[in-house]
């Protein structure tokens, strides 16, 4: 639980009220130090299951567990004073039934102290989201490209190109918009369609690889900082190349250790008189 939790100002209700107004700023956070750095600049911090790929070297998010999400959710909450914190429900933690989803969502909220959970899925998950929200659990939806379904979707690719995909996303937006979700992530969706569903929905849309017309934007922090280099999606903009700078710092340190330039007297302890 955040030591400054009582001072937090952004809540799911406040995020929802930002529909059509000032764009919502969202980034991912997985650790306490990163949460502290991002908190001042973000309205919402997402503890995304993308941590499986970014931090653990997994090929997809499928292997992420509930315990992992809770551990990182706790870490982020220790570093937050302002932003609304949403924790992803990992694959397998909510699809079986709405009752299973409820139990796991309660565990996330109780053990992390976060503000809300996020789960992927369109019309097939609307009943589950309604079940959770009616029982006091704030839920963020996620439609369009859904990374947890990458195995059946044929890989990571943009969606909304065919009439079949367009129709499905429209139905998903309508269903999730009426389910009680306070906001919806729209991922990897072609611009005209993302713009259309944003206009049609009464709750905020937060785009990632979608339209600038979305009510907010989210990116993976390690992507914008140049810390994750396995691949760079088309929708990512690099704002720095910290990975290169980390490697350069490590190389300089290694050189000084090997040439005995480090440590010097100022970095060592002397015996007390």
Residue ranges for the known binding site for 3-methyl-2-oxobutanoate are 49-50, 88, 118
Distance separating alpha carbons of residues 86 and 88, to the nearest angstrom: 7
Peptide linkage before 263 cis (omega within 30 of 0): yes
Closest residue by Cα to residue 25 from 33, 15, 13:
15
Q: Rounded to an integer, what distance in angstroms lies between the CA atom of residue 268 and that of residue 15? A: 50
Q: Among all chains, which residue has been given the structure tokens 């429209």?
A: 170
CA distance 45 to 93: 21
Contacts of 75 (CB under 8 A, 6+ apart): 30, 31, 32, 35
- What are the E-state strand segments in 32-74? 44-47
Annotated binding-site members for Mg(2+): 49, 88, 120
Tell me the two tokens of residue 242.
Answer: 């910290």
In the chain, beta strands by DSSP E: 24-28, 44-47, 84-88, 116-118, 139-144, 183-187, 205-208, 216-219
Q: Which of 63, 75, 87 is nearest to 3 (CA)?
A: 75
Among 187, 191, 196, 255, the active-site one is 187
Distance CA 25, CA 14 (A): 13
User: Residues within the annotated binding site?
Assistant: 49-50, 88, 118, 120
Residue 127 annotated as catalytic: no
User: What residues are labeled active site?
Assistant: 187
């Amino acid at each position: 639980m955040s030591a400054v939790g009582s001072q937090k100002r952004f809540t799911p209700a406040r995020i929802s009220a930002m529909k059509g107004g000032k764009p919502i700023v969202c980034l991912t956070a997985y650790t306490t130090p990163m949460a502290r750095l991002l908190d001042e600049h973000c309205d919402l911090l997402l503890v995304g299951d993308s941590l499986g790929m970014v931090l653990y070297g997994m090929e997809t998010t499928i292997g992420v567990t509930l315990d992992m999400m809770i551990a990182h959710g706790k870490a982020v909450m220790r570093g937050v004073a302002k932003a609304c914190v949403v924790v992803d429900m990992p694959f397998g933690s909510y699809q079986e039934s709405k009752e299973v989803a409820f139990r796991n969502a309660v565990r996330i909220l109780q053990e992390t102290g976060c503000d809300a959970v996020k789960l992927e899925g369109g019309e097939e998950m609307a009943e589950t989201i309604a079940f959770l929200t009616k029982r006091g659990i704030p839920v963020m939806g996620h439609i369009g490209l859904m990374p947890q379904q990458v195995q059946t979707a044929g890989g990571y690719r943009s969606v909304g190109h065919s009439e079949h995909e367009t129709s499905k996303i429209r139905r998903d937006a309508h269903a999730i918009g009426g389910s009680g979700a306070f906001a919806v992530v729209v991922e990897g969706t072609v611009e005209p369609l993302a713009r259309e569903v944003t206009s049609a929905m009464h709750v905020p849309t937060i785009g990632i690889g979608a339209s600038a017309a979305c009510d907010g934007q989210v990116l993976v922090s390690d992507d914008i900082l140049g810390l994750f280099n396995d691949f760079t999606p088309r929708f990512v903009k690099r704002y720095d190349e910290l990975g290169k700078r980390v490697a350069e710092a490590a190389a300089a340190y290694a050189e000084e250790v090997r040439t005995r330039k480090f440590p010097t007297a100022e970095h060592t302890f002397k015996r007390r008189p």
